[in-house]
Each structure stands twice: as C-alpha cells, then as structure tokens.
Amino acid sequence: MSKIQLKDKVVLVTGASSGIGRELAKCFAREGVRLVIASLPAERKVLEDFAETLRREFRIEVHTLTGDLSAGDGPQKLHQEATRIYDQVDVLVNNAGIMAFGMFHQLSLELQEKVVAVNLRAYMLLMRLFLPDMIRRGSGAVFNVSSVSAFVPTPRHTVYGATKAFVQSLSEAVGEEISGTGVRTFTLNPGYTDTPLLKGEGFPTKLRFYRFGGKSNPAVIASKGVAAFKKGKRVYIPEKHLWFLFMIGNRFAPRRVINRISEFMVKGE
Ligand SMILES: NC(=O)c1ccc[n+]([C@@H]2O[C@H](COP(=O)([O-])OP(=O)(O)OC[C@H]3O[C@@H](n4cnc5c(N)ncnc54)[C@H](OP(=O)(O)O)[C@@H]3O)[C@@H](O)[C@H]2O)c1
C-alpha cells in the first residue's frame, strides 16, 4: 500500500455543501491541501460561507464551483472549470449523491434516471476525464464515496444500491488496470450515516437496520475515510461491525438469505 502526502495537493470534492462531502472537505483542509469544493447552484451561498470558514480556520486556498451533475454536460463543465482554476487536480473526490426510496416499479422514471445520472454517470465521467492527466503525470488518486450498499442488493432503494455496485466494480477494476502508474483508486463504503440523504421524501424516519447497525456520524466517517485513504487502502468500510457483516457474512450466506435479510432490514418501523 503506497501512502499519500496531501500537503499542497489539489483536491476536488463534489457534493461538499452538506453531509459526508462537507466533512471530507474539512478533513482534507486539515491536511493543508488546496481545495475546490462543488455543489448544486442552489447551495452557492452555503458553499461560499463554508469556503470562507475553511480559509480562515486552515489558512488554505479554497475555490467554489456550482453546477448540476445530473445535467448532460454537468461533469464535463465541472472538469473544465476545475482545470481552469488549477492545471492539475491531484485527488478527485466523487461524493455527490442522491437517494430514491420506494418500490422500483412505482418510483418515477425521472427520479430513477436522476439517481443514475448523479451517482453513476457523473462518477464514471469525472473519473474518465481526470484520470488521463493523473496517469501522464504519474501521480494522483480517485476517492469514490461508495457505500456498503455496493456489496448487497438493496430492496426499496434498488437503483441507489445498483449505482453503488457499479461504482464499486468500476473503481476496483480501474484501480487494477492502472496499478504501477502512480495513480490509484479508493472507495469509502459507509453504512447508514446521519445526513440529509436519509431525510428525503419517502425515506422512513426509523429503519429496522438502525437497531442493529445504528446511524454513523458523518464527521467520524470522513475522518476515518481520509486516514484509510492516506494509508493507501483501496476499499474501506469504516464501521467494524459492518465490515464483518459485509466482508465475511456476505461471502458465506446463500444469496437468497442475503436478499431476504436486506429486504427485512430496510423496512420502516
Ligand atoms: N448518508 C448515508 O447513509 C450514506 C451511506 C453511504 C454512502 N453515502 C454516500 O455519501 C455521499 C454523500 O451523501 P450524504 O449522505 O452526505 O448526502 P447529502 O448530505 O444529501 O449530500 C449530498 C451532496 O450531493 C450534492 N448533490 C446532489 N445532487 C447533485 C447534483 N445533481 N449535482 C451536484 N451535486 C449534487 C448535494 O448538493 P446540494 O447540497 O447542493 O443539494 C450535497 O452536497 C453519496 O454518494 C451517498 O450515496 C451516504
């Protein structure tokens, strides 16, 4: 595992206006990086206030960019604008994400397409856009915020889980392809975490899963995630009990049992 020095590196974090992305931006700021933080245009003021706080607290350069990653050219625009600010981006943090909770055959097509656009298409395009330069320079990394949902089918947020499975496969496969180039990929795979993502329309206030797995704190997830990334890990589940469940239990239990448990756990109480 190759360790990474973050001081003065350029780090781009998508979805940095709230939740895990905001906490990741803080953790990277603490490392003395030069930051570019991005979110939707509606959060411009929130993002600018946050940037000012980071500049004051950590004495670092922070730039803000807003745009819609679900738009057809959203990822390309973000790539263009980020590389206009800095010639090179050293770490791409793909974090922006949305959730649609409900039965697959009932959720609107429009919403499901948007989940695919933000959680899957934007991740893939941004990786494809930033990686060639990193590989040419022989240094850099992609930090993908995935989920434990990447490892099991997720009834009631089926498309969400499927996008995370895609990102997981892509990230690990690309990481293998480029090993030896000085560039690497990393996935952070948290369990349910207390952020606005779990408060969207239709999402139950209490899931059975919380009784067993609890809800993680985004600041703790981000700080453990950045520490694991710095150590050179490739895939990282921050919660120990979930690591055991998803890395060990998941390998030995029959598929049908896993799917049943998954369906049971994601019902509201
Ligand atoms: N919370 C969990 O339980 C959990 C667990 C595992 C993994 N994750 C993953 O963690 C990541 C961050 O989620 P979170 O829980 O921190 O949720 P969050 O607080 O809702 O943050 C999501 C971020 O994504 C941005 N975003 C949403 N749609 C966008 C779009 N179309 N274009 C650009 N930016 C957009 C949001 O921007 P605005 O603020 O401007 O809307 C926000 O900054 C996601 O990839 C999620 O799948 C979350």
44 part of a folded domain: yes
Check if 190 has its Cβ closer than 6 Å to any atom of ligand 1. yes
Give a yes or no: residue 77 inside a domain: yes
DSSP 189: -
User: What is the band of 1 on the pLDDT scale with cuts at 50, 70, 90?
Assistant: low
Residue 46 tokens, joined: 């929130």
Q: Is the CB of 225 under 6 A from ligand 1?
A: no
pLDDT value at residue 98: 98
Asked if the structure places residue 269 within a domain, the reply is: no
What single letter denotes the amino acid at residue 40?
Answer: L
CATH of the domain at 50: 3.40.50.720
Reported as a single tens digit per residue, the pLDDT across 94-138 is 999 999 999 999 999 999 999 999 999 999 999 999 999 999 999
CA distance 252 to 265: 19
Summarize pLDDT for 170-204 with one digit per residue, the tens: 999 999 999 999 999 999 999 999 999 999 888 98
Q: Give the closest residue to 226 by CA, choosing from 218, 119, 125, 118.
A: 218
**Which residues are known to be catalytic?**
146, 160, 164
Tell whether 246 is covered by a domain.
no
Residue 89 lies in a domain: yes
- Say if ligand 1 is within 6 A of residue 96 CB: yes
2: pLDDT confidence band, cut at 50, 70 and 90? low
Residue 75 lies in a domain: yes
Average pLDDT of the chain is 95
**Average pLDDT over every residue of 146-165:** 96
Dist. CA 103 → ligand 1 center (Å): 21
- Cβ of residue 168 lying under 6 Å from some atom of ligand 1: no
247 lies in some domain: no
Nearest CA, atom 43, ligand 1: 15
In the 8-state DSSP scheme, what is residue 30?
A: H
- The answer, yes or no, to whether residue 207 has pLDDT greater than 70, is yes
Rounded distance between C-alpha atoms, residue 191 and residue 187, angstroms: 13
Residue 256 lies in a domain: no
Tell how far the Cα of 45 is from the centroid of ligand 1, in angstroms: 17
pLDDT reported for residue 27:
98
* pLDDT higher than 90, residue 90: yes
The domain of 93 spans 10-203+216-239
Give the number of domains in the chain.
1
Place of tokens 């139950």: 204
